[in-house]
Every structure is written in structure tokens, then in C-alpha cells.
Amino acid sequence: MEYFGWDSPNDLATIKRLLVVGAGAMGSQIALVCARAGYEVLCQDIAESSLERAWKDLQSRSARDVAKGRRDAGQEAAAFSRLVFGTDLDALARDVDLVIEAAVENVDLKRQIFAQLDEVAPKHAIFATNSSSFIPSKLADATSRPDLFCNIHFFNPALVMKCVEIVAGPETSAETIELAKAFVVRIGKEPVVLKKEIPGFIANRILNAVRDEAVFLYENGVASVDSIDSACRTALGYPMGPFELMDLTGIDIGYFTKKARFAETNDPKDAPSKSVTELVERGDLGRKTGRGWYEYAEDGTRLGPA
């Protein structure tokens, strides 16, 4: 197993630590948020190339923040010294107090991950998923600890966004939710606790309604992508329009979320739209591919409608 960070897992300090599963944009940023808050953080991904890419991206983001005076260079170096990236899930999970899963939005894969974690992680470890598509009751029974299972849902970009939604399943203990709330506060975020589980939670359900209407207006020829985005920014005060936001978060993320919801409800309104499906099938996924609803330069600068 190759590590990017400490020389070996034996260098871990004997303090409370956590594991983030998945080193994509969300997982890697969650890991750095937690390391900045003083936690020892392990971040796992099955692909070493993903770990290398994530490590370089975080270093680049950190350097920009330091250069702009947003972060202290010494504190950033200390945060990275608390961060380990590796590929061996079993080895990384053996001595953690909290696991945050941020793998791709596939329920079978997530259940497989949690079942594996359940075998190797300490019995007291809390399991959390970052998913907003799959509620605790869809995943918790893959483990022997449904009382220690919840959703801790960050928003993209996790390094910036303050809100973190916390969702309990039918068997989640009150103590688990209190610990999750305390954790979220400690890492400098603002917890929003739901009273009961529902797919999409709060923010994404509201956001998805806006996105659906935006796509409806576009597909029916009412207005262009940039006109709809402009109206949302200048009339509604949104920091960016719904199409800009889809490009930022990844068009495929919303697509797979829609597919998962449609599989559950079989309601046509929950299925991905025609235009979104076409973009995904072409591989035009937004900023990360250089083209989505808009076109982007290599540095991520938006050039104009695609």
C-alpha cells in the first residue's frame, strides 16, 4: 500500500481520528476540513491515481489560500501533517472513531463498503455517509451498528460551504446525533438536523426543484441557459445560476441522484431530463471535463455557453 502523507500509519498520534472513504472532490475536501480542525484524518480510495490527484489538488488550493492571505502557511502545513492518503481500507479503518463515506452514488457499492468497514472498524466507531440520495435506512442494515449510523452531508465545495445536514435513521441513537452535531461544530461548520429521513434532505430538495424548473424552461425554448442563470443571480440574489451550479458540482452527480430516485418511485418527474441525459452520455459533465452547460478554459474560467 502506498501512502501520500506520513511515512507509515504507525506515525498516527494517539488522539481521536477519522476515516474518509473516497478521495473525489467531496471526500478529499472533507478530509482537509477535518485536518484543519485538528483531527488526524485518513482518506482512502481504491485508485492510487485518484489519491495523487486529490493530494495535488488540495495542495494547490491550500497554496492559493495562503497566497491570498486567507490561510496561515504554518497552520496549513500542520493540517497536511495530520492527513494520510492510502488505498487499503481494512488497514486504515482499524483504529478510527468516525467514518465518513463519500464514494460514488451507488447504493450497492455503499452497502458493500459499510459491510466491509463493519468487520474491521472498532465497535464504537460511528458510521456516516455523505450521500443525500440514500437515507440511513437504505444503508445502516448492511452493518451490525444501525444505532451508530447516520448521514453527515456536506455541500460542494466542502472547504467553503458552512451547512452540514445531519440525518438519523429509524434506529440511530440520540447520542450518535449529538456526537455528530458536536463534530460538525468542531470542524467549523453549521449543523442542520432533520427530524426524519427523506431522500434529498432539505437543501437539495429545494435546489432540485429550482434545477428542474430551470431545465424545463430551457427545454421548452422559453429562455437560454445564460438568461435563466442571469435571472436567478440578478432577480433572486443567487450567487450563481442553476446551470452554473450544475457545472460546478458535476452534471453526472445530479443525473445519478435522479436515476436513483426514479428507481425508487418510478415517477417520470423523478427521472433525469433529456438534456441532462444527453450531456452525461457525451461526457460533458461540467467544469471537471471542460464542458457542460458552459465551456471552460483549463484553469476553470467560464468562457460562455456550450
> Are the C-beta atoms of residues 34 and 187 closer than 8 Å to each other?
yes
Among residues 151, 204, 208, 273, which one is catalytic?
A: 204
> Are the C-beta atoms of residues 38 and 61 closer than 8 Å to each other?
no
> Are the C-beta atoms of residues 272 and 223 closer than 8 Å to each other?
no
> Is 60 considered catalytic here?
no
> Is 130 considered catalytic here?
no
> Are the C-beta atoms of residues 260 and 105 closer than 8 Å to each other?
yes
Longest Cα pair distance anywhere in the chain, in angstroms?
A: 60
Among residues 28, 76, 133, 153, which one is catalytic?
A: 153
> Is 2 considered catalytic here?
no
Q: At 101, is the secondary structure helix, strand, or coil?
A: strand
Q: How far is 270 from 263, CA to CA, in rounded Å?
A: 9
Q: At 56, is the secondary structure helix, strand, or coil?
A: helix
For strand 17-21 and strand 98-101, is the pairing parallel, antiparallel, or unpaired?
parallel
> Is 165 considered catalytic here?
yes
Q: How far is 291 from 247, CA to CA, in rounded Å?
A: 8
Among residues 28, 130, 131, 132, which one is catalytic?
A: 132
Query: Which of 209, 120, 213, 134 minimizes the C-alpha distance to 167?
Result: 134
221 Rama sector, left if φ>0, alpha if ψ -120 to 50, beta otherwise? left
Among residues 40, 105, 165, 197, which one is catalytic?
A: 165
Q: Which three cell numbers stand for residue 98?
A: 468516525
Q: How far is 271 from 288, CA to CA, in rounded Å?
A: 23
Query: Which of 242, 241, 244 minimizes the C-alpha distance to 287?
Result: 244
Kindly list the catalytic residues.
132, 153, 165, 204
